[in-house]
Structure 1
């Protein structure tokens, strides 16, 4: 059940769910989508005539104040536990505002911003501007735009934690990472080389470095998806598999069978140092082929 809050435009409505969390509900000729204003977190994107581009946990109650399981969480200004504070930073549990929209017959573009006073309160001594631009149509593009507003250099680590649906993880293959080096977060081995396609027979949690090329997901029923990135030389590939699925919050025990994460990132040695006034954009595009 949704409770109507306001109308942003004919194609964009602001709705509040039964728990009080607000979403942008998008109904456009080219795409239907849903974005939580808390976290600027897109949880659904369905191009006209296509299957969903994103996976969202069917048991997530979508309560306010809690990170959502699925879609594309925004990890910023640090990834995982790289700094003290909440895992993956402050952006995914902070309230954002819609600042601009653009509509054309084949796409809809939205710009959201994390208020500067929200950033200052949670990150004392730091000064940033953070915007998230969503371009929705036959593909999904996200640009995470960060500007250093301080008078000193600031360190930035981040990720667009994209959950993608698959028909079966057992038949899923990822191409485009052949020859890439990665850290295996499961085994703790820091130096590995990818040979052939990435396949899944157990838990996978890897950070690939010095990599810029698109990644192609291939699966059952002729599923093919391309994930491209810009402003990123690191990419995270993750599937929790059986045991971890039972320990994750808001995640079905068998959820690992139908999803995989391919995350555009600036993680580890790919963290960026932004000079005063400098802007960095981390981008990802997800599309079926």
Structure 2
């Protein structure tokens, strides 16, 4: 059984007037806890603070409050999900002045790294559900409005590890729960997220590491043809780190040279 903390109180409940519940007016971070600490906490916190700034929310929680709760949970590996909302209000979208932001923290046992990822790569599908092109004010942040991901996730059961999402123009954006990378001709590519998608912490780490080690990288527009032309494909998120992809529907990938290098450099001892 996991731990739930609301505004610093273990086992408390949220108000039905919370704007996160009413309108999805808030943000969240999903982090990996290892040995009482959070992997890449600084990056997660910078993204949370940036999202709060862009939404005009005063962040109501500190890193130390999160770490104190994580240490109390005494889990060797944990999924740490932090939600920040604008607070309570009545009906209507207007934000009353002087709202007090709320925070909710979930701490649960982390899942095991997928066995399929160790045995040639996970299976992935392409979803029919499209993600919208977002206003630049919210593009890239991890806001609470996740209905496209919810609807996309209903398209498969357990036969796939994740589903890839495209925007209305047919551009590949990301997975439901992961960012996407492909390797073509020795070049590491990942979708441009200026219009849709989440700027993932692990995505940022992979790009920085690749550039620092002389691996050619491109942040660019990708479509379904680019998936077929790729020699390697992998997914990234904060919980699993790097997950090699063995197939996207009927198309199979056998190479994983660069993917394996990145896993060895970035994930050993924390994720996989």
User: Please, what TM-score do these two structures have when normalized by structure 2?
Assistant: 0.26
- More strand by proportion, 1 or 2? 1
User: Please, what TM-score do these two structures have when normalized by structure 1?
Assistant: 0.25
- More helix by proportion, 1 or 2? 2
